[in-house]
Chains A and B, each alone.
Chain A
């Protein structure tokens, strides 16, 4: 049982992904297993992975960020407006995507720290607030006419690889470095494992909580820019409901909802699993509505499996 648990936590999600690919490959070899389709899966998964990586950190400290979808829309909108106002593209992305994303995340973190409320409540509030701001500054209308260089530079291709995929891989690698090689990363794991003990080991809880939400904001900001480039327009209602997918990718990827456990690699696997499932269901002509049912069921199943193993582990001592 113990060994199975270790194996599961290390390779479980990867195994599931392989299994899914094999099953879909057998069911539909002529469509699913083509290079074209697999690239498409990766492209579709790129945004999920970007947002999921940020969500991962908030779940790691036994919190959550429900405002990711609204942050995507707001950052995308600000970036678009800045570009239309004549700001150089790179600067607009940096300011509208990254800086605004960080700022929105910082507001979440600040509120969590100062009110002492659970992040669920705080981000449920800002989910609505940020969406409202987006609707106000856009007058509830999509923003078109973005520069071609922006669309091609962010949503285009380098050789045969879509640029969003490269961005997602880059961010995932960077955040893997943060979790595995930096003190901040280690401290965040400690905070998620036992915040009291972390405090008594010298970890500044509020500072690290703030950073966690800033990371989530930046990831949402980058995802917002990529989404805007792919759509070719900034939609005020873009990213609506994206928190479900972000949470799902982190949870399916093995991040413990109880805090302290998880890996960025798992989130990437989780994102790909979601991508493969929705792509597979499309190929098998399953209507989109059913995909939502599958997604929701997977979240519950993944948390249940995690809980099962956690309980087993703690009842081992005698």
Chain B
């Protein structure tokens, strides 16, 4: 089989720190080569070297019959390499078709001038959108698309560039089951056409389904390459984290149904924008209550409403036996509610703040008056408390005075959890808490959630990863079209029953 990419002994240093240490990586034509490793293992760095963002400190890259010591982005594109980043890189204000052809707009001559050939572009764009299964007009603006639709546009963009080597960095992290299946169909077609695909993901089930070979990296070092058919999930996890992943089944506890143990009772809750309608449920002491459903089914919207970030039109919320009105996050925090938001970077942390400032934010608000205006801060005390949370939650950092952007995704998430623990939240809502987080940190976050539930705090978890929900939660509520479709006990809940309820 043709070898499309042959990276040999690649090393990369950042300011004296070895991010990659003698990594070799091969991509064959017609294969999906999975790249697996915890966050910070070096996957993204390796791929950025292939796409020309970084120059390696040592090693060679062979593409076809040409050998390079480093690639420029232009050389990378000329060799038909296309990368689809986890953080999407589309231009929001432009139309879908303009995004597809940005930098190489088709043109035609008009009165001697070269002008953009919109008709031709629209035709080609329509064909590409059809291929990736996106039902939108090519002329629609990207800013009007959902995250998963944008992901499909990114894929179409790679197709538009006629890419032969496509790197996908967690392409399914915001896709529904159906969209994922659709993506896999596209990938299979690309394979058949002789393209090579580098696939980065943490979702084991998915890797097994789509991958051919798998290379595992750990701490910037090469661990091994295997054929996917010949390796078990447990083996992969061991290669990745260097330890067996135990405690896989933390959930499935019997839930008390004693009314004295109701921590949160929601009755007929309807949002002002009607994205959530007539929702009623109870959360019991000691349980982790899961929320399943498709993207856009209203789970996140329910949580932001409970947290006061979005307006509630009607309904009743009883928190720890007391009826409460929540009309702002400020109020929610005062009442002891914490929300670990779906999107860390945008709504989770302040990227200009050090770890300790991020941890102390909610506590400062909770203990403030006049809407957060009144009150003093004590840096010494805040740093001390932050260090306590760092030790308690095993946050890996050199010091709490590091900026939060320097941490890996898993540790950033722990900082956010630490923020709510320090504010002594008694109801904690986790919305996709392990999105884009490596396996090791995931299991630590599950343990923290279980510990919180056992200590008498209310714990709610929203997740699109069914295996995770099934492993962690004691009951699962399935959401559909802004309302509760069904509530499943741990005995009733399986991937099949959940998907059936979520889709039918």
Contacts and interface: CB of A to CB of B under 8 A. Distances in A.
B374 A183 contact: yes
Contacts of B368: 183
B366 A202 contact: yes
A260 B375 CA distance: 20
B176 interface: no
Contacts of A1: 15
Contacts, number: 116
Contact of B346 (A2, A182, A196): A196
Interface in A148-190: 180-187, 189-190
A304 B248 CA distance: 51
Contacts of B19: 318
Contacts of B12: 318
Given A200-B347, A202-B372, A190 B377 contact: no
Contacts of A19: none
Interface of A: 1-2, 180-187, 189-190, 192-194, 196-204, 207-208, 211, 259-261, 313-314, 316-318
A318 B54 contact: yes
Closest 6 CB pairs of A and B: A193-B352, A260-B352, A202-B365, A318-B45, A183-B375, A202-B333
Given A180-B377, A200-B339, 19 more contacts: A181-B377, A182-B376, A183-B368, A183-B372, A183-B376, A186-B364, A187-B364, A194-B349, A197-B347, A200-B307, A201-B333, A201-B350, A202-B332, A204-B371, A204-B372, A260-B350, A318-B14, A318-B19, A318-B45
B353 A183 contact: no
B348 interface: yes
Nearest to B42: A318
B213 to A, nearest CB: 23
Interface in B396-417: 405-406
Nearest to A211: B373
B123 to A, nearest CB: 37
Nearest to A193: B352
Contacts of B309: 199-200
A183 B350 contact: no
A245 to B, nearest CB: 26
Interface string B350-385: 111100010001101110100111111101000000
Given A204-B330, A317-B406, A187 B372 contact: yes
Q: Which of B352, B353, B368, B375 has the most CB of A within 10 A?
A: B352
A195 to B, nearest CB: 10
Nearest to B15: A2
Contacts of B328: 202, 204
Contacts of B307: 200
Nearest to B331: A202
Interface string B90-112: 00000000000000000000000
B180 interface: no
A197 B372 contact: no
Contacts of A259: 352
B353 A193 contact: yes
A190 B353 contact: yes
Contacts of B458: none
Contacts of B379: 180
A198 B375 contact: no
Contact of A184 (B15, B330, B373): B373
A179 B98 CA distance: 45
B44 interface: yes
Contacts of B366: 202
Interface in B1-37: 12, 14-15, 19
A173 B375 CA distance: 18
B341 interface: yes
A62 to B, nearest CB: 11
B183 to A, nearest CB: 25
Q: Which of A183, A199, A200, A314 has the most CB of B within 10 A?
A: A200
B482 interface: no
B329 A189 contact: no
A78 B377 CA distance: 37
Contacts of A260: 350-352
Nearest to A182: B376
Given A182-B377, A183-B376, A318-B54, A194 B350 contact: yes
A215 to B, nearest CB: 12
Contacts of A208: 372-373
